[in-house]
Amino acid sequence: MSEIVIYEDGKIELKVGFENETVWLSQKQIVALFEKDQSVISRHINNIIKDEEVDAKSNMQKMHIANSDKPVTFYSLDIVLSVGYRTSSSKAIKFRKWAHRF
């Protein structure tokens, strides 16, 4: 990832990658962003892919990151926004307003 974009909402600060005209977040970052349990986020992502709401191939990428012995999956802004709509929280609304500029 070539560029880092910082999202802050007073409680959390995320440093997210920006590549190919989209923001990329790991599942761990999505969990922190929406303050939902990892199993909830995982279920939403699986349903988004299963329902073909977004194309998995172009909206997911595995990358090696420091201090990880295996690749970590990152999700594009399209998937993150879809998860946000499904969580339907004030955190999701705030993030969507921020993400609108991308």
CATH number, position 79: 3.10.260
Q: Tell me the C-alpha distance between 6 and 13, whole Å.
A: 7
Calculate Rg over the CA atoms of the chain.
Answer: 13
Domain that holds residue 75: 3-99
Confidence of residue 19 (pLDDT cuts 50, 70, 90): low
Q: What is the pLDDT of residues 52-68, one digit of tens each?
A: 999 999 999 998 888 87
DSSP label of 98: H
Q: What is the pTM of this model?
A: 0.79
Torsions phi, psi for 61 (to 5 deg) = -145, 140
pLDDT of 99 higher than 70: yes
Over residues 7-19, the mean pLDDT reads: 62
